[in-house]
Structure 1
């Protein structure tokens, strides 16, 4: 068998953070995140998923020979399901809304959502191996159906669209995974 059985990853733990765009991003996996990075709390055991979508057009020469393919409208999204109903999740689910507490009673005023791009970090753990996916700019594009029930947890499935930087960078993966080491 070609390969190394130590290389496949099973991410056994994860944390997801949101911050204002421009917040100092991590540059390693060991340094604590700046205070502006707020955790969304517990995530669903289903983990996070990434989707990709793009248009492509094929061009053929006379005789039907494929000579070129163009690609455009690339879109990348990440989906996480938050299990807590804290202020961070509230803000992601209801951008432009507000909450206030008076004498122990909190009132949330829900308004029509407004654009609210944020920076995100998805931190993953597999034993001693750690990976941080740093998304400098993204936005919650949709929130899945929310169930209010006595037989299921209330969960907020967030689909986050990742916006590229001017140089085309979507995100950075920072890891101490020995299999990711680049050798000259």
Structure 2
């Protein structure tokens, strides 16, 4: 059987960061993440998931022979579930809302959500292997149902729609994974 049992990844840990669009992102996996990137806190053990959606149209020659397929309306999104109700998560769930603290009491005024594009960074770890996925521009487009109960953690399932850059880049992956190395040519 072909393959290498060291190659499959099981991401044992992750951090999720948010920053204003245009914030300088790391260019490697060892440099500390700049303080302009705010951590969203603990994430669900379910991890993150990427979804792809696009329309495709098949084109046929006379007689029914498939000759081409065209694609359009490509959309990608990432889903992550935050387990903390901190200020970062509050801002993602309720863009345009406010929070103030006086003494030990915080008041949150929740308003109808406004458009609020952000930059996102998901850092994943599998032992000594690190992967940083940088989304230069995206937006929380959906918030899942939030349970307020004594039998389930309050969790905020966020779907982030990724917006492409002018050059069609959706995101950038930076990793020290040896299986991702591009061979050099003489």
TM-score w.r.t. structure 2 length?
Answer: 0.98
Deviations, residues 3-56 of structure 1 (Å, cap 9, x unaligned): 100000000000000000000011000001111100000000000000000000
1:5 aligned counterpart, secondary structure: coil
Match of 2:22 in 1: 22
Q: Which residue of 2 aligns with 1:70?
A: 70
Rounded Cα–Cα distance in structure 2 between residues aligned with 1:105 and 1:92: 21
Could you tell me how far apart the structure 2 residues matched to 1:82 and 1:91 are?
Answer: 12
Report the 3-state secondary structure (helix = DSSP H, G, I; strand = E; otherwise coil) of the residue aligned with 1:90.
Answer: helix
Aligned partner of 2:101 in structure 1 is 101
Structure 2 residues without counterparts, runs of 5 or longer: none
Determine the structure 1 residue equivalent to 2:7.
Answer: 7
RMSD, aligned CA: 0.5
Q: How many equivalent residue pairs?
A: 184
Gaps of 5+ in 1: none
CA distance in 1 between counterparts of 2:34 and 2:145 reads 32
CA distance in 1, matches of 2:130, 2:56: 35
TM-score of the superposed pair, with normalisation by structure 1? 0.99
Deviations 1:78-136 (A, max 9, x none): 00000000000000000000000001100000000000000000000000000000000
